[in-house]
Amino acid sequence: MDSFNEQEIRKFREQTPGTRNVIHLNNAGAALSPEPVIRAQQEYLDREAEIGGYEVNREKKSELDQVYQVAAAWLNCHSRNIAYTDSATTSWLRALYAIPFESGDVILTSEIEYASNYLSYLHLARQRGVQVKPVASDEHGRVDLNKLGNQLSDEVKLVAITHVPTNSGIINPVEEIGEKLKGRDIWYLIDACQSAGQVPLDVEAIGCDFLSVTGRKYLRGPRSSGLLFASDRALESTTPFTVDLHSAEWTGRDEYEIHPDGRRFEQWEQNLSGKSGLAAAISYYLDAGPEQVFETLAKRAEELRKRLKNIDGVTVYDAGGLQGGIVTFDTPVKPSDLKNQLTEFGINVSVSPVNSTLIDMNARGFGDLIRASVHYYNTEEELTRFAEVLEALLQKTST
């Protein structure tokens, strides 16, 4: 599959107002939304102002429900398997806490886990006596499949893997891991927060029970929007940790029934302008073409890594192998200062702090890193400008 040509990228940029103002290399933070996503939210909010929040909710019900259909088409599942949430963290926690852990159960995970995930494992260890075991990475920083295979045992209750980390271009082999888990009585949870909208996803091919997504990052959707995929097995055999009047029905004084579909992992109050924006973002992504999106951004990121390696004083986090759009690097300048200096030139980057992925950063001996996360709508000219400004800033500080 080819990457997008210049004309296509020009069209995507014309549909993205933010590209007129900034060189946006913070797509792993929150990407720039295209017009249909912005419009969907604005129209929803305008209508709320006109007729009232509950009333517009009723009026636009079928439009809002679109999110389940487009998400199902995207992830290759049924709409009953989708829950709408406010973030990847909420989705992921709903999945984690649906699993009935007992003392001694083992959670196998990766070394590139996001801080919130690992903190939750530690919290579960403290609360319920589970054991947390990160599987060692291979030479490319990905989960070592042989080591994972050797660590599978009857005590393993959950394999929880971050698909793409917050701090580098690594892509974990989630389908191969799924193969290893086939036929075993182990839950499989994927954190697809950074891969959603970046790497094509297919829950059937991955074979996972749960997969969590955020809207605002590579999907280019609204802030405070997210999704949880829960497989049929997960819907049938796990119970949400909490319920409310939306996820469950109060059927008698001492009786209640939990909804059988993904709704069991939702709550009543929702960010509804976000819901319509998220549906628009997924549709836009599907229309653009997930394979071409990945091809284009991976190529751009590769170009950026090459350019950065030619700048004096820059150390690029490059573990090799297939990599996505997140590029991180170190310089002699404090990352937060460099980020602020770049902002003055209209260039948006972010900082990956050590403790956002503590195990991986310590294993590689990195401190905080600068993160330049590339999307398919970034151009070669933008990368050239970024590299020139960065080089000039580093030269200024070294003299």
Binding site for ligand PLP (CB under 6 A): 87-89, 114, 116, 162, 165-166, 191, 193-194, 214, 226
Q: How far is the CB of 192 from ligand PLP (least distance, A)?
A: 8
Q: How far is the CB of 188 from ligand PLP (least distance, A)?
A: 16
292: buried, middle or exposed (CB in 10 Å: 19+, 13-18, 0-12)?
middle
Q: How far is the CB of 240 from ligand PLP (least distance, A)?
A: 18
DSSP 387-398: HHHHHHHHHHHH
Closer of 60 and 113 to ligand PLP (Cβ):
113
Give the count of alpha carbons within 13 A of 116, CB side only.
Answer: 13
Q: How far is the CB of 112 from ligand PLP (least distance, A)?
A: 8
Pairing of strands 369-373, 326-330: antiparallel
Closer of 56 and 109 to ligand PLP (Cβ):
109
Closer of 56 and 301 to ligand PLP (Cβ):
301
Q: In the 3-class helix/strand/coil scheme, how is 4-54 assigned residue by residue?
A: CCHHHHHHHHHCCHHHHCCEECECCCCCCCCHHHHHHHHHHHHHHHHHCHH
User: Contact 359/134 with Cβ under 8 angstroms?
Assistant: yes
| 79 phi and psi angles, rounded to 5 deg | -60, -25
Q: How far is the CB of 32 from ligand PLP (least distance, A)?
A: 17
Closer of 4 and 285 to ligand PLP (Cβ):
285
Distance in angstroms (rounded) separating the CA atoms of residues 334 and 57: 47
Closer of 56 and 158 to ligand PLP (Cβ):
158
Distance in angstroms (rounded) separating the CA atoms of residues 118 and 359: 10
Q: Which of 384, 397, 343, 361 is nearest to 141 (CA)?
A: 361
At how many degrees (to 10) do helices 290-309 and 380-398 cross? Answer: 30
User: Contact 326/28 with Cβ under 8 angstroms?
Assistant: yes
Closer of 41 and 87 to ligand PLP (Cβ):
87
Q: How far is the CB of 53 from ligand PLP (least distance, A)?
A: 24
Closer of 191 and 382 to ligand PLP (Cβ):
191
Q: How far is the CB of 131 from ligand PLP (least distance, A)?
A: 22
Distance in angstroms (rounded) separating the CA atoms of residues 285 and 73: 11
Query: At which residue do the structure tokens 């020009």 appear?
Result: 10
Closer of 89 and 307 to ligand PLP (Cβ):
89
Q: What DSSP designation does 246 have?
A: T
Q: How far is the CB of 21 from ligand PLP (least distance, A)?
A: 23
Closer of 64 and 326 to ligand PLP (Cβ):
326
Give the count of alpha carbons within 13 A of 26, CB side only.
Answer: 20
Q: How far is the CB of 226 from ligand PLP (least distance, A)?
A: 6
Contact partners, residue 343, CB within 8 Å, separation at least 6: none
